[in-house]
Structure 1
């Protein structure tokens, strides 16, 4: 179980944008900017990989380095270069970005075959916001037909509401340029339906056709949707991960994006927080042979994905326990689990003997006093009756004894 957390935590950083219907962005400008950024990614992107929850590995070009950031600043025409405190930006990378901007075009003619397979909102969670009030957040996943290389995605969205049996639908709103196929959307309005459209842009221009998602309504519930179906567990084994288990369940766009998974057997129990990604299952690696496991998956809200507060504070050094008052031997166990499932335990046996005061209290209980009083009363009554009977009975002398007395 020592590698379970590696699969869960080695996830790519998720980018975020907010749906703002009152902010209109020029699509032609964004298309030219996306082409420029794709050129920067092609030159300065570092090949990297990240693990998904199902154990698979995705390859991508990582642009989180100084040269790539400087080139992006050149694409933005120095809008991000004039900030103070950015000494790491190299002028050559900035010059490359400016040159790439000059070479890019707002013309959106198709230059290659379609690379995007599907676009879908895979999950959603209520996420109250100070600025937008009651709102929700969700994750959008873009599935590709083949590895894309240096590519940027222009994301557009529209919304609609049903009024008197008819839909009031907005126009497409250009919102962001994403470098990843998986990103977060904030500011979704409960009760409103949304649709997302993604355009793939490479260094040479638009790659294939744009692809849109289906309409998805945002739930008005204040709590995340729980699992209403049974989990499916598939066992497996390989030399890298040992004994494994794949956990699956049918998913819908109304499902939660955050879960708490609890895995336990007869000797240990571990609980972890999981954030959904584009995969369809959860891999549990390095399990034990011939062992029965219990798996529980529960949907949780956004604010409960932080570190849990333990039931007992680590600063506590004592605890008070009220015993029933009878003489008895108690076994006290303290069990502690670390982050990778190892457990440490301590055990002590305690013999509880009631004190003299407690024994007197037991003796002087109302029921015992009543029974004892009845016994004493009956004993005294019997003795008194016997005494009275002996006093009243006549003293009889046998005939032979009287004659013998006269003869004497």
Structure 2
């Protein structure tokens, strides 16, 4: 449900209505990228920004209404930041998470007494608006005594710069010497209104204390610059005079909050579904393949030719498990192909090769030299029987030992001539 921008922001505790209307007039607020106007209506889904900073709107059921009673001392200003560097009433307030404190009415620098703060902008606006006629009560000390004609004039109304103003009631509370105390009530809150009304009848106000705001009385035990939060009974009475429904107990409140969160979640979910449907309708529909189809597509290969029959053979039908195994195998093979191959050790270069060819030998050169040496070795072994060279070391050794008759005598194989005959001539025959 949409509502006015200033009302929605005030209800979320982001400021009073008057303050928010000032932001709108200055062009500091934007809604969905466009500068907002006073008649703009918004919902919690709209993008609202103040000076480029995004603001979050909360439903009324998600706001825990709070009101503080503060005993303002003289010398403090009722503004958030003072250009002159004076103390402000907001310096003593606790920090609120997600919102901020809003002052219900103002008190000037030399006025003390009751000052209410709330995190509900709608409550603050209703309590301050003259339409609701919330009564304020002040204790006034004046120099001199109030005459009957002066009292009558104050009750009937005196003319001020911004119009006529009148008290609803005036009660004398006694005094000593030149100073007299009076309790006055009125149903509006203009700037320095009480002081100006007494000045209009030539009386000077030496002290001014606000002691009541609507049904809330200033706690006598509350010291200056101290505060306390209103209890549920006081809060309900304050809401009742301006037509706001009181909040339930904590259990009921928690239930309402959870229900509201669930409703918001379901609405956001439905909205996301609708957005996806719109995107799917606008974009071309892509076919979604199942896991089995993806695996079959990954291992799909053209028909192979059988080596034995020489004819084309169709790929067999794969089961789901087999298709997955083949897909995994194919992925591993592709990964292995992309990896850089490790280069083996380069063989040592001998002195002869270095002398013959000073250039650096490559791997192919080493391989060719190894092949040539192996071929020469094989050719030499084939020629060995023709020249009388032994082809087998073990065979030549046994032959020489047999010829000499002494197996313990070791002979060299591979020398020219018959090794066995030389060993036999060298051995002397023993005498009989």
TM-score by length of 1: 0.22
Q: Determine which structure has the larger helix proportion and give its number.
A: 2
Q: Determine which structure has the larger strand proportion and give its number.
A: 1
Q: Which has the higher contact order (CA 8 A, sep 6+)?
A: 1
